[in-house]
Amino acid sequence: MSTTAAFYFDLASPLAYLAAERMLHVFSGTDAMAIEWRPVLAPDQSAKRVAREQVERRARELELQPVRWPEPFPFDSSLAMRVATYAASIGRTVPFAQAAFRQAYAGGHSLEDPDFVLIAAAACEMHPTAVLRGAELRSTTERLAQNTAEALAAGVTEVPAIVLGELAFLGEDAPERAAAHVRGERTRGPLRTLQAGSR
């Protein structure tokens, strides 16, 4: 089992939302493997290619709340992702990301609006003043840029993605395929094996 594991996400991606809703459950049986949630800024076109009907159908299959699409969609997630990066610095990445994803795709609220970002932050006991200050720190912006660069170097060309050691699992079903790999099962789907020295 790899000792290096990361889940890369952008709050603008509804496919990352679908994956995030399953992450904790899917990996609960893999020897309690800890996976770090890492905020990144994904390419804008990844959200534009999303088929809404496919996302809505998949949410029904997963028995999630009906998808409500924010307006505009896709939205600018830069503020929300800086807040997610700040949340990581205080150990609140997962609860903030889950709350923010649900604001966007269960509540239908654009995370371009700072009010909805702050509502998500409040849901995991993050003070609004500290959140806004943290989001504007140079160190926060630099950390987000570093995460994004590291993701690209690891073969992450779309979100959601899970990187386990030298393997990158891409796409909405990445949690299941990555967990299967950890269990030693054969998997299919977008997968990149990194070359030596590529990271």
Asked whether residue 17 is assigned to any structural domain, the reply reads yes
CA angle 124-12-5, nearest 5°? 70
Residue 173: pLDDT band with limits 50, 70, 90: very high
Is residue 199 predicted with pLDDT exceeding 50?
A: no
What is the per-residue pLDDT across 72-89, written as a single tens digit (0 to 9) for each? 999 999 999 999 999 999
Q: What is the mean pLDDT of residues 94-104?
A: 98
Radius of gyration of the chain (CA): 16
Cβ-based neighbours of 164, under 8 Å, separated by 6 or more: 2, 4, 5, 178, 181, 182
Count: domains in the chain: 1
The answer to whether residue 41 is domain-embedded is yes
**Inter-residue contact 113 to 147 (CB < 8 Å):** no
**DSSP track, 152-179:** HHTT--SSSEEEETTEEEESTTHHHHHH
Over the stretch 18-42, which tens digit does the pLDDT of each residue have?
999 999 888 876 555 678 999 999 8
DSSP for residue 2:
-
Judged by average pLDDT, the poorest of 136-145, 158-167, 171-180, 187-196 is 187-196
Residue 11 sits in which domain range?
5-193
- Residue 162 confidence class, pLDDT cut points 50, 70, 90: very high
**In the structure encoding, which two tokens stand for residue 48, read together?**
């534009």
198 domain-assigned: no
- Is a pLDDT exceeding 70 seen at residue 64? yes
Is residue 44 situated within a structural domain?
yes
115, part of any domain: yes
Spatial distance between the Cα atoms of 85 and 89, rounded to a whole number of angstroms: 7
List the strands of the sheet with 191-193, edge to edge: 36-39, 5-9, 161-164, 167-170, 191-193
- Spatial contact of 160 and 9, defined as CB atoms under 8 Å apart: yes
Predicted confidence band of residue 193 (pLDDT cuts 50, 70, 90): very low
- The CA distance from 4 to 20, in Å, is 18
Is residue 36, in this structure, part of any structural domain at all? yes
Q: What is the pLDDT of residue 175?
A: 94
> Does residue 1 carry a pLDDT above 50?
no
Q: State yes or no: pLDDT of 47 exceeds 80.
A: no
Helical packing angle, 14-26 and 93-105, nearest 10°: 130
Residue at 87 is within a domain: yes
Q: What tens digit of pLDDT does each residue of 131-157 get? A: 999 999 999 999 999 999 999 999 999
Round to whole Å and give the CA distance between 141 and 143.
5
CATH of the domain at 45: 3.40.30.10
Q: Identify the DSSP state of 80.
A: H
Kindly state whether residue 199 falls inside one of the protein's structural domains.
no
pLDDT of residue 196: 28
Q: How far apart are CA 148 and CA 133, in angstroms?
A: 21
